[in-house]
Chains A and B, each alone.
Chain A
């Protein structure tokens, strides 16, 4: 598939790279400044801008996707940004193989989410505002992808943080929404601070922040590996770990994962943005960018170890928690955490391509799952209102009042609606018949997540991770990789189980509420993106089919391992690729099908009926899992509360209680001394003092009417005093 003759990229690509992130950013400005009162126009501008961005990105992508050595000589364009003495820090845009693959996925997914949002948000009073934020969000992610240096990456990274904060808290009158927003911003900020330090460190050591100049430069990498830092780490490892801190925050890895499940407080398209196209992908994307730094630190170095362990642990933990959730979006949220753990763990054991592959496939099927779940919620809400109207005999027209309620509408009459949770899977059931497109696409997304063999993208990418972990662990005897393999296999088993549970509880059996019984399929603007994403969730896996894989390897022919070959030029030092091995493939088939079978046996054979207890509640540690291992409570007790305590007490206790006390003491002492001075003053230099004082008083006459003389007199005499001292000095030392 890669051309033998050198294919050269046309020169206009660099210009396109500059332009690609701009339309959504401009759209944000336009909507915010001028068009915020025009709903239709706002969403049109947003969608069109994102599509424009997509077209430009695709032009870039399809110009470079066959370039074999793009990684060695990425297309770049830079300009000086920060003067630093005689040198200057350049920033710019660039595209290398990793960036190119993201230039394909990000704008495509964003565009679909934008289109979906026009339907989903149709009845929201702040429709324009939503599209303004969404545009900024998409534009920032585009900017992040085309950045050729850590500084601009960080800038867009933080802008996305701001967007996610704003969008998670979009229903700003709901306390749970703004709390979730603050939590997301602050939790990721912890990681961002580490990243900021890592950036400062890297910049100090190398004098640049350009990815290519640092990460594709043997000399710089060697120097970083040889420079000692602290705790026996090399500078390379220390910087890599600090930067990884940013990934932990953004990609919701333990211990900073707590924000992501709460982030579903935002409207569902936002969840799709955060969980798939933008936020969390950015974290792993950056980690992959800095993979050469991890490599430079040496095989089995601490940084690799930390990355692998955190990833594997997060994958496992996330999967266990997802099993015990009822909220349809919360299940997906923890599955995201878990799947991101897969990618991070893969990076930690050196499976660079597998991690990138899974990141790509996951983005498609997770966007699909979130949007489909949004469609479900929409449908159930609709059903709820329809049922309500049916019984009460009025409000027939208010079938779409849902969003207004989410916005905390003050109408008392809707108060009782808050008891009904349209996101709780226990309130669903039997939706397959009512919402066939949503069901079919959700099923495809779920199958990809569970890793159904051969026909879903998730299978191929997850299998790739297994192959690497198995090879490094069980074939080559690396303990860490073995541990990672075991944890990931268990997680994959649970993934298949909870996905089946989710699908069955939501779509199969009989409706457990009136709302579910009256649910209706969503509008085409919402179902169309689902269908497109479903196609990708099925077939995107074929971009990296192993060459020796039975049947399929032959089927794709020269296209086998496209991603691997494309990404190959990113790294100076190629990680060892495992030869084809049937054992891990069998593992991934068995856990996927086994998990599904288990799920079907528990839930599918006799679906839950209304009021029936969910079988998982019989698990001995259900409460522990349902309460998310109590991390939130732990953090509240050991971080939030003590910090709040300091903040509440500090200014009274220290500023007023100590510092001001001391100063008041000093003032009292000073006053006594000054009295003595004044005496001396009066006797020795009365003349001077009076003359200057008079002059000042004359100058101050115009403010006299403002106030009683005392304050002014005091001030003037102190000023006079200052001048007197000055004059005395001059004459004494003349």
Chain B
């Protein structure tokens, strides 16, 4: 138990790799063993992360369960892990979603061994990103995470998977290269990759204390380069309009379990990057003018607004069920960006933003990451369940399916309402908090964002109606679709439960998030 006590984060992070090894050691024909063994094994990190969640000391705050080890002394890189109120909820989200995505993936017939192995690798890398407190470590996890996702799309995806997987990898690799450069510059400037140190007064890069003068460019130029590199990398991941066009393709083509992980967790790496790196390392930039008369925070808020509104319109326009759900992510993640813009502005020394507004916006943004993780994963699972039966994603070919699939219908309505942000379910709380937090800071953009929220209603109702309502679609008169199976319910019901619990009593997560966001702002 001493390993658990002192190295619990490492254990959680690398346990999935053990799972991967176990999967690789299992004969490929033992499909059931691989599937259910993996699912069972993935419950261990979940249990440990819940333990972590419970034992995190909220009154103390800050990074806890910290581990340090020498790792790469030549360049001052260390092996350093820790969690705070911002990363811990996302770790729990990851370990929570992984078994569910694995359950839903039991319908995958092609090479389950490789599939589950990749899933474990994905889990390790994502947890790694959330717990890493060293920039190099962060980057390595971040980058390796692309590999399993690429293969999941490329090998198990839909008809257009090649295009989608390449678009995904090119977009992200491109962004990562910039980020790598930025990390190097920061390392050289502050002589450290320690993220906690870098966020402190003493360690913050591109200050008088830590100037950057390479290649004859001065600090401000390097600062701009590093900032832009980080911002683009994370904005692309969230994604913020107009860097979003990889998403509909990747999410639509990925296998169901992959979409759940992509939408549920990988998008959060972007939002997390803003909270963990962009805000602490560049606190003053949010208040600086990016365009004449527009601060960076304002530009970000405008792009967030465009994501919300255009994402919603785009989702409305889709006739492919999965693409509709994919576009809904852009719409929902726009609220994360909006919250980030509001919180970031408060960090700027010249800002007049009240702290309370920034905290509410920040709390909302982090909670929105969690709730979107739940609702989007649930929606993708529901799309997958239907696709497995009907073998089409064309909304116009469904219709009236509620008659045949009563339980599925009820669950779909629940999940769709979660995605819509119906009060009582978690999405509402986070959206309300972002709106409340952003209201005094970006009043006009908040008002305009309501148009997006309105259209959110339209596309959600469109999806429900096209699938469930109306006369039964022609082809289903003779092709009976069975109702949702128990296994599939098992994969979705926990998400529904979580949405309900967080919707009724959000403090369960927010008490922790609040501590994290307060830590960031002080």
Question: A residues within 8 Å of B by Cβ?
Answer: 32, 36, 80-87, 151, 154-159, 162, 165-166, 169, 172-173, 175, 178, 181-182, 185-186, 189-190, 193-194, 196-197, 199-201, 203-204, 207, 408, 410, 643-644, 646-651, 654-656, 659-660, 663, 667, 670, 702-703, 706-707, 711, 715, 718-719, 722, 725-726, 729-730, 733-734
Contacts and interface: CB of A to CB of B under 8 A. Distances in A.
Interface in B447-461: 447, 450, 453-455, 457-458, 461
A648 B315 CA distance: 9
Given A718-B173, A725-B177, A197 B114 contact: no
B457 A651 contact: no
Contacts of B469: 169, 172-173, 178
Interface stretch (B221-229, B332-340, B425-433): B425-433
Nearest to A25: B424
29 contacts: A80-B507, A83-B507, A85-B359, A86-B518, A155-B424, A162-B417, A166-B413, A175-B470, A178-B469, A182-B461, A193-B453, A197-B450, A203-B436, A643-B313, A647-B313, A647-B317, A648-B317, A654-B310, A655-B248, A660-B245, A663-B245, A702-B24, A706-B114, A706-B155, A726-B184, A730-B75, A730-B184, A733-B184, A734-B74
A84 B364 CA distance: 10
Given A173-B471, A200-B446, A651-B314, A722 B454 contact: no
Nearest to B500: A29
B56 interface: no
Contacts of A660: 245
Contacts of B406: 36
Contacts of B26: none
A325 B245 CA distance: 50
Given A659-B242, A715-B169, A722-B177, A85 B114 contact: no
Interface stretch (B146-154, B294-302, B376-384): B146-154
B509 to A, nearest CB: 10
A186 B459 CA distance: 11
B174 to A, nearest CB: 7
Given A173-B470, A726-B180, A650 B317 contact: yes
A665 B400 CA distance: 44
B288 interface: no
Given A155-B423, A722-B176, A83 B510 contact: yes
Contacts of A181: 461
Nearest to A670: B174
The 5 closest A-B pairs by CB, nearest first: A155-B423, A647-B316, A85-B359, A647-B317, A193-B450
A197 B435 contact: yes
Interface string B348-381: 0000000111011001000000000000000000
Given A196-B450, A200-B435, A178 B465 contact: yes
B461 A703 contact: no
Contacts of A203: 436
Q: Give chain A's interface secondary structure class.
A: helix
Contacts of A182: 458, 461, 465
A246 to B, nearest CB: 12
A82 B430 CA distance: 11
B436 to A, nearest CB: 4
Contacts of B170: 667
Contacts of B450: 193-194, 196-197
Contacts, number: 186
Contact of B454 (A189, A703, A718): A189
A647 B455 contact: yes
Contacts of A654: 310
B147 A204 contact: no
B188 interface: yes
B327 A651 contact: yes
A719 B147 contact: yes
Contacts of A651: 248, 314, 317-318, 327
Contact of B506 (A82, A165, A726): A82
Nearest to A242: B447
Contacts of A196: 432, 435, 450, 453
A659 B470 contact: no
Interface in B271-327: 310, 313-314, 316-318, 327
A189 B150 contact: no
B410 A197 contact: no
| Chain B interface residue number, banded | 35 or more
Contacts of B174: 670
A166 B406 CA distance: 14
Contacts of A185: 457, 461
Contacts of B440: 204
Contacts of B310: 650, 654
A190 to B, nearest CB: 6
A172 B317 contact: no
A707 B150 CA distance: 13
B180 A706 contact: no
B180 A725 contact: yes
B314 A173 contact: no
B154 to A, nearest CB: 6
Nearest to A726: B180
B199 interface: no
A457 to B, nearest CB: 34
B197 interface: no
A654 B510 CA distance: 37
B141 to A, nearest CB: 13
Interface string B410-422: 1001000100001
Contacts of B117: 702
Contacts of A733: 184, 188, 214
Contacts of B436: 199-200, 203-204
Given A82-B507, A703-B151, A707-B154, 19 more contacts: A82-B429, A82-B506, A83-B514, A85-B359, A155-B428, A157-B423, A158-B424, A159-B423, A186-B454, A186-B461, A410-B471, A410-B472, A644-B316, A651-B248, A722-B177, A722-B180, A725-B181, A733-B184, A733-B188
B262 interface: no
Contacts of A663: 245
Contacts of A656: 245
Contacts of A175: 470-471
B51 interface: no
A167 to B, nearest CB: 13
A710 B507 CA distance: 50
B468 interface: yes
Interface string B379-408: 000000000000000000000101100100
A200 B439 contact: yes
A719 B143 contact: yes
B511 interface: yes
A667 B173 CA distance: 12
A657 B392 CA distance: 26
Nearest to B310: A650
Contacts of A649: 317
B505 interface: yes
Nearest to A162: B422
A249 to B, nearest CB: 11
Given A159-B423, A186-B454, A726-B184, A703 B114 contact: yes
B471 A655 contact: no
Given A651-B327, A725-B180, A84 B457 contact: no
B111 interface: yes
Given A204-B436, A647-B455, A83 B184 contact: no
A706 B470 contact: no
A703 B111 CA distance: 10
A715 B150 contact: yes
Given A655-B245, A663-B245, A725-B177, A158 B428 contact: yes
A484 B252 CA distance: 56
B402 A172 contact: yes
